[in-house]
Amino acid sequence: MIKRFLALSLLVGIGAIFVALMMSYEPDASLNLTARYYAENTASETGSANIVTAILVTYRGLDTLGEVTVLFLASSIIGLVLSLGNKQNTTLRKLVPVGELLTTGKSYLAPIIMLLGVYVFVNGHLTPGGGFQGGAIIASGMLLLLLSDPLKHFSHALISLVESLSGFVYVSLGVLGIVLAGSFLDNRILPLGDFGDLISAGAIPLIYSLIGLKVGAEFSSMLANLSEMEDLQ
């Protein structure tokens, strides 16, 4: 009873804080200094049609590198913890049969889902979305394959190769930015091209594709590790 009362009063308290925040919120009449700079100069400086992508990949590229590193650490630690146990004995495991709908549907859906993921990160500088979203979409395609065939084995060597190669090239491109264009992860190491074209905005499509591959590989390795883990007795 007293536990319930505590939980309820906590909820009411949090609700009151949010209501107070909402009441005191007044939208800015004009863009603030930083936002105005981005809105006015993104197109001419980076050639990217999507301002969010330009901020994530060039202006705040270091933060994105940090995010990718955090995801990499999480996926490595999951791999480390799960590899301490024994690999499951696949011949002994009995499985709940997978439905007909899933087995037939996955062979049509999985390629389309992965293609959508690639589309999202390749077009990151033109349309909403980018490396993280595209990578997550690719990983959900992989998860669909795992759901329909729980004993499926993905090549861990291939996943690690994609993951580490794209990470290495990503950082190399960043360092190349210091040498050629003046700052880390500067996208002007390649010609900016025509505004709105698929191949434009300098190195942004390249960098975001690498991020997409890296994120997709990291999520996929997490899922593959989870699926190959032995059941606890």
* Sites of contact with other proteins (CB under 8 A): 50, 52-53, 93-96, 120, 128-130, 132-133, 136-137, 139-140, 143-144, 146-147, 150, 219, 223, 226-227, 231-232
DSSP line for 66-116: HHHHHHHHHHHHHHHHHHTSPBP-TTT---PPPPHHHHHHHHHHHHHHHHH
Residue 180 CB partners (closer than 8 Å, separation 6+): 186, 188, 189
CA-based radius of gyration for the chain: 22
Q: What distance separates the 2 farthest-apart alpha carbons in the chain?
A: 67
Q: How far is the CB of 128 from other proteins (least distance, A)?
A: 4
CA–CA separation, 70 and 118 (whole Å): 22
> Which of 72, 83, 81, 80 has its CA nearest to residue 164?
72
CA torsion, points 18, 19, 24, 28, in degrees to nearest 10?
Answer: 70
Residue 10 CB partners (closer than 8 Å, separation 6+): none
